């Protein structure tokens, strides 16, 4: 019974689902790496521009390397599926995912702008310790969260919902 369910589940997976799942896993991994490095860093390191820029370079490098690796892997397992354009249902799902991703990204940018302005204008309570490069971290996290939302919404909507509005 369970094997039948597993078989029907695997049968229902499209190349697009596989691509989205891999992209989702990669983005989750990168976000985990970024946040765990930040939380493990000492207060001195967090204020060091060289440390932060080094971390960002690592994040970009890992993103590119993992994207290339996943593209190669998918090329091997696909039956020329990677060359096919998205069909109408997949395009609708992609638009839906992008719409939600854009909201998250815009929210992140707004929060980053407000926090930068607060820091620059001295609006924040001076007794509270501020996190160095906070607007930058907000934007990186917002970018990762927007990508995660994009992939997750497409995956969930493609198999659970009838409405793509």
Q: Which stretch binds other proteins (CB under 8 A): 83-91, 99-107, 108-116, 141-149?
A: 83-91
> What is d(CA 147, CA 53) in angstroms, rounded to the nearest whole number?
21
Contact pattern from residue 25 through residue 64 relative to other proteins, giving x for each residue in contact according to CB under 8 A and a dash for the rest: ----------------------------------------
Given 16, 38, 141, 154, the residue binding other proteins (CB under 8 A): 16
Hey, what are 13's tokens?
A: 């997976």
C-beta closer to other proteins: residue 48 or 81: 81
Hey, what are 142's tokens?
A: 């917002």
End-to-end, the C-alpha distance of the chain in Å comes to 35
User: How many residues are recorded in the chain?
Assistant: 165
Given 80, 88, 121, 125, the residue binding other proteins (CB under 8 A): 88
Closest approach of Cβ 73 to other proteins, in Å?
A: 20
6, burial (CB in 10 Å: exposed 0-12, middle 13-18, buried 19+): exposed
> What is d(CA 1, CA 8) in angstroms, rounded to the nearest whole number?
11
Given 14, 21, 45, 78, the residue binding other proteins (CB under 8 A): 14
Hey, what are 111's tokens?
A: 């929060």
Query: Is residue 120 within the footprint of other proteins (CB under 8 A)?
Result: no
Q: Which stretch binds other proteins (CB under 8 A): 15-23, 27-35, 64-72, 136-144?
A: 15-23
Instruction: State the DSSP code for 18.
Output: H
Phi/psi-derived region of residue 42, left when phi > 0, alpha when psi is between -120 and 50, beta in every other case = beta
Given 9, 49, 75, 87, the residue binding other proteins (CB under 8 A): 87
List of residues contacting other proteins (CB under 8 A): 12, 14-17, 84, 87-90, 158, 161-164
């Amino acid at each position: 019974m369970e094997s039948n369910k597993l078989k029907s589940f695997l049968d229902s997976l499209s190349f697009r689902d596989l691509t989205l799942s891999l992209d989702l896993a990669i983005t989750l991994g990168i976000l985990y790496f970024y946040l765990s490095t930040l939380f493990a860093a000492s207060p001195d390191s967090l204020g060091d521009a060289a440390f932060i820029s080094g971390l960002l370079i690592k994040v970009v490098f890992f993103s590119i390397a993992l994207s290339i690796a996943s593209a190669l892997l998918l090329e091997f397992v696909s039956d020329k599926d990677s060359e096919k354009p998205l069909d109408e249902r997949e395009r609708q799902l992609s638009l839906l995912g992008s719409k939600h991703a854009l909201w998250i990204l815009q929210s992140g940018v707004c929060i980053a702008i407000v926090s930068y302005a607060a820091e620059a204008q001295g609006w924040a309570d001076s007794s509270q310790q501020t996190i160095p490069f906070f607007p930058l971290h907000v934007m990186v996290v917002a970018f990762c969260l927007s990508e995660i939302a994009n992939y997750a919404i497409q995956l969930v909507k493609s198999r659970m919902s009838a409405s793509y509005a």
